[in-house]
Amino acid sequence: MTLVGFCGGIGLCVAGTIVVSVWQDRIQSTMLVVQDATFNVAGVVFPLITTYALTHNMSWSYSYLSVGMVALLTLGVVALTRFTACETASAEDRTDAVKSEWNPGIISGGIGLFLGMLALYTFLTWAPLFVKNKFGIPFEEAGNIITQYWGAALVGALVSTVIVSRVRIHYFLLSIIFLACVITTIIVTKDNISGLDYLAYSYGFVCAALYNSFIAYGVSFVKRASSQNVSYILISGSAGAMFSPAISALMEKTMGLQKIMYAIPVLYLIIFIMLMGTLKLKRNKAQ
89-103 residues labelled b (16+ CB within 10 A) or e (exposed): eeeeeeeebeebbee
Mean pLDDT of the chain: 83
pLDDT class for 90, splitting at 50, 70, 90?
very low
Residues 138-193 have pLDDT tens digits of 887 888 888 888 888 878 888 887 887 788 888 999 999 999 999 999 999 998 88
Type of residue found at 78: V
The model's pTM is 0.79
Predicted pLDDT at 179: 96
Alpha-carbon distance of 39 to 117, in angstroms, equals 15
Residues 204-235 have pLDDT tens digits of 999 888 887 888 888 888 877 777 888 888 88
Residues 17-48 have pLDDT tens digits of 777 777 776 677 677 777 767 776 776 677 77
Domains in the chain, CATH or no CATH each: 2-281 (1.20.1250.20)
Predicted pLDDT at 66: 83
Residues 235-277 have pLDDT tens digits of 898 889 889 989 999 988 888 899 999 999 999 999 999 999 9
Predicted pLDDT at 65: 84
